[in-house]
Homo-oligomer: A and B are copies of this chain.
Amino acid sequence: MAATLHDVARIAGVSIKTVSNVIHDYPHIRPATRAKVEDAIAELGYTPNLTARNLRSGRTGAIALAVPDLALSYFGELAAEVIAEAEKAGVVVLIEQTGGDRRRELELLGSPRLKLTDGLIFSALGMGQEDVASLGVEYPLVLLGERVFDGPVDHVTMQNVEGARAATEFLLASGRRRIAVVGAHEHEVIGSAGLRLRGYREALEAAGIPYDDDIVAYTTLWHRAYGARAMRDLLDRGVEFDAVFGLNDTLALGAMRTMQEAGIHVPDDVSVVGWDDLDEAQYSIPSLTTVDPGSRWIARTAVQTLLKRIADPESGHAAQLHLADFRVVERESAPRTLT
């Protein structure tokens, strides 16, 4: 059985209050008393029972992070950054996976499991604007992603429309005209896919190029396999294109894979741009030109915002929207200048 405050107090011959004072570096303790207590702590190998402390204080020192799936590189990298940032504040992170499923996401928001934490960073993927009311929870909550806007909570996200517009403009500036899209979602207006597609359309429009739904490939999930499959569809349909905008890096990489099998050369025949700037994008063959949407900043800001809300729940200032900076990272798959 682990030692308790009482055990330490008994061994040291003092009361538990004194032990508690020592542990909390309360200043006015006689050095001799302090030494006795510290000896007793060492002798017993005492460590405080955090559960008891939490019950007393109402804090747990843990936050929850909910993501669709940690095996997806994007969320793995996000979680790594969240954990690192939380650790700086001495806070641990409990991770929940929702599979990007709306029902599981909504369930999670009301789950008693969250009682083990002081707040939640919630990367939504399945729920939508109609679920905005579900975000009105009693615990501190920071929302990530682009499924719900104008909710009653702090929201940290990326500039999807602007970034996608910049990526498309980049391709246009390099001389491409028939830019296929991989990863669109049917009828989606908001959501990552919808917003990025909007940016794409805005760029086309500004350049006076008509939007052509024939070169937009729809997928449900954003795995490599789906990018590969979407590209196969495009090729099977025999449509012509000279560039591909993958709505994220894994889709773009999957699509590149299929093109390579089909004997299409990237970037000589077709330029490819992705989105996320995963670590992997630097080392693919060819390396991937992509949009860095500021994910690290998003992770850090989400943690800081949540911790601020936890520290001062009554701060009462309205929910804020935090937008990350983005930039187009030029690599081999889409050179600025075609040769």
Interface of A toward B, CB cutoff 8 Å: 2, 47-52, 54-55, 60-62, 69-73, 75-77, 79-81, 83-84, 87, 92-97, 110, 112-113, 115-116, 138, 223-225, 228, 253-254, 256-257, 260, 279-280, 282-285, 287
Chain B, Cβ-Cβ closest to A54: B51
Bound: A76/B96 CA distance, A? 13
Bound: A55/B49 CA distance, A? 9
Please, could you name 18 A-B residue pairs with CB atoms under 8 Å apart, sorted by A?
A47-B110, A50-B112, A50-B113, A50-B116, A51-B115, A70-B79, A70-B80, A71-B77, A71-B279, A73-B73, A76-B79, A83-B97, A95-B95, A224-B279, A254-B283, A257-B284, A257-B285, A260-B285
Residues on B with beta carbons closer than 8 Å to the beta carbon of A115: 47-51
Question: Cβ of A280 and Cβ of B113 under 8 Å apart?
Answer: no
Question: Cβ of B47 and Cβ of A283 under 8 Å apart?
Answer: no
Nearest CB of B to A75, in Å: 8
Residues on B with beta carbons closer than 8 Å to the beta carbon of A61: 113, 116
Question: Cβ of B92 and Cβ of A116 under 8 Å apart?
Answer: yes
Residue of A48, A83, A223 with most partner-chain B CB within 10 A: A83
Question: Cβ of A224 and Cβ of B116 under 8 Å apart?
Answer: no
Bound: A54/B290 CA distance, A? 47
Nearest CB of B to A228, in Å: 6
Question: Cβ of B282 and Cβ of A224 under 8 Å apart?
Answer: yes
Question: Cβ of A76 and Cβ of B84 under 8 Å apart?
Answer: no
Residues on B with beta carbons closer than 8 Å to the beta carbon of A73: 71, 73, 76, 280
Q: A51-B60, A62-B116, A223-B279 provided; 5 other pairs, C-beta below 8 A?
A: A69-B80, A70-B80, A73-B73, A257-B283, A260-B285
Chain B, Cβ-Cβ closest to A113: B92
Chain B, Cβ-Cβ closest to A57: B51
Give 8 closest A-B pairs by Cβ, nearest first.
Answer: A76-B76, A71-B80, A70-B80, A224-B283, A50-B115, A47-B112, A71-B77, A94-B94
Bound: A52/B57 CA distance, A? 11
Bound: A55/B56 CA distance, A? 11
Q: Which of B50, B79, B228, B280 contacts A224 (CB 8 A)?
A: B280
Bound: A284/B55 CA distance, A? 50
Question: Cβ of B70 and Cβ of A76 under 8 Å apart?
Answer: yes
Residues on B with beta carbons closer than 8 Å to the beta carbon of A77: 70-71
Nearest CB of B to A13, in Å: 24
Question: Cβ of B51 and Cβ of A112 under 8 Å apart?
Answer: no
Bound: A87/B104 CA distance, A? 12
Question: Cβ of B60 and Cβ of A84 under 8 Å apart?
Answer: no
Bound: A299/B236 CA distance, A? 39
Chain B, Cβ-Cβ closest to A65: B95
Question: Cβ of A97 and Cβ of B113 under 8 Å apart?
Answer: no
Question: Would A83 and B70 be within 8 Å (CB), given that A50-B113, A94-B92, A285-B285 are in contact?
Answer: yes
Nearest CB of B to A54, in Å: 5
Bound: A256/B285 CA distance, A? 8
